[in-house]
Amino acid sequence: MSENVSRTVREFDHPRWQARLTELCAAHHVPGATLAVLVDGTVHELASGVLHRGTGVEATTDSVFQLGSIAKVYTATLVMKLAESGALDLDAPVTAVLPDFAAADPEATRVITPRMLLSHTSGLTCDFTLDTGRGDDCLERYVEAAKGVALDCRPGTAVSYSGIGYNVLGRIVEVLTGLTWDEALKQHLFAPLGLDHTMTLPEEALRFRAAMGHLGEPGTDPDPAPSWDLMPRSAGPYGRVIASAGDVVRLARMHLDGGTALDGTRVLAPQTVAAMQRREVGVPDKWTVSADGWGLGWTLYDWDGIPGYGHDGASIGQYGYLRVVPDAGVAVALLTNGGGARRVYAALLCELLGELAGVTMPDSFAPAAQPPVVDLAPFVGTYRREGVVITVTERDGAGHLVYEFVDGMKNFSPPLEADLVPVTQTAFAASGAGPSFSEDWMPVVFAELPDGTGCCYIGMRAAPKVA
């Protein structure tokens, strides 16, 4: 279906893109997908496949999917709305709003700011998952429990993707609005933007056709996951928004339109929208989510001089991708429920953004036919952050990696093992990591923190070297 909001200038060939979506999903064993494209003020929505291979329920344009980390864009938008109103100083310590906030390091507690949380430069780690119940106090209890969790690095010294940071932001929203994070989203974003297919709680998703995640070996038809969602309510601000692809694009359209809703309601000021898209930090890992830098909530891209922003997300067997090209007024959201989702994303968005926005997306991450010669010795060792231990060894002159989930993450997945193929002097390609990172090659990037500590970046997360 299409939603007309202005005169269309560029033709969107709906049948051709529908056929292409269906073709790619079949080729890469993606059970179902929905696609929404905003071009010249018109939102086009497409769907293909099934929501659940066990039931055969058809995917439709009004079906809802789990967005995973795309939820961080929603939380960031709420936080920036509070900053715009004067209720929050982005550069004051978090303790000015949350006096009981504490990191594992007392000095970090004193200096961590909301700006650092938004740009993933606080040093707070990512994979601290804790079920603090279904009550309205779940975020308060989570932030309290996270006090002793080790930091990835000192605040303000490096980027390290942080789930804890976004939960702290969610708690800031609650304290300043007097609402739960869920209710604040409804009142301040969903309602003014008319996002009637967007929600945060599983029981709310039951009103709609909801996608089931699927898991399986690459190159095969995946099976329904054992559970629809393993994330607790406390994961909301960093990972639990459920929406249709069309609604995701409607959120992006508000940012494209300088902060106004379709009916003219102002949600954000133009300068606030611009601030969110301004680069706060560069990233050493430019491959995992195609990032060139990070703004205040947005992943930033540079496609041969054409700027863009967006975010990726993953939950149990569901993968989402949002890309926005402001100069062209184009936004694309692709939501999937398993299989080779990243390959569908790579092919489809390359074609869509090329035709509609003149964007040339980078090639998929992979080593060259003749990889460079690299001295592995400096990288051999053990790296650890909360929830993950990474062990790098050298075998017959080649690198080998074991990525093991521990602590609260220990039941999420068995250990991943991969050989390392050099891409640059500090970046390596690891094979067989699965669709959360890439279908064929997972980026593994080694860097040095300002204090001289070595670290290993996987999934945009910095794990310091401990042995």
Q: Which residues are catalytic?
A: 69
- Residue 181 CA from chain centroid, whole number: 18
Rounded CA-CA distance 263/294 in Å is 30
Dihedral of CA atoms 108, 113, 115, 120 in degrees, nearest 10, equals 30
Rounded CA-CA distance 69/73 in Å is 8
Cα distances (Å, whole numbers) of residue 104 to 14, 90, 123, 141, 219: 52, 21, 10, 16, 43
CB–CB of 325/359 below 8 Å?
yes
CB–CB of 327/317 below 8 Å?
no
Phi first, then psi: give them for residue 240, nearest 5 degrees.
Answer: -135, 80
Rounded CA-CA distance 71/77 in Å is 10
Rounded CA-CA distance 393/400 in Å is 5
Q: Which residues are bridge partners to 323 per DSSP?
A: 310, 332
Q: Which residues are bridge partners to 462 per DSSP?
A: 457
Specify the amino acid at residue 311.
Answer: H
CB atoms inside a 10 Å sphere around CB 161 = 26
CB atoms inside a 10 Å sphere around CB 416 = 18
User: Which among 299, 341, 313 has a CA at the least distance from the CA of 243?
Assistant: 313
Rounded CA-CA distance 155/297 in Å is 17
Specify the amino acid at residue 84.
Answer: E
Q: 3-state class of 417 per DSSP?
A: strand
The CA R_g of the chain, rounded to the nearest whole Å, is 21
CB–CB of 370/363 below 8 Å?
no
CB–CB of 429/386 below 8 Å?
no
CB–CB of 144/212 below 8 Å?
no
User: Which strands make up the sheet holding 441-448, listed edge to edge?
Assistant: 381-385, 388-395, 398-405, 416-422, 427-431, 441-448, 454-458, 461-464
The pairing of beta strand 461-464 with beta strand 454-458? antiparallel
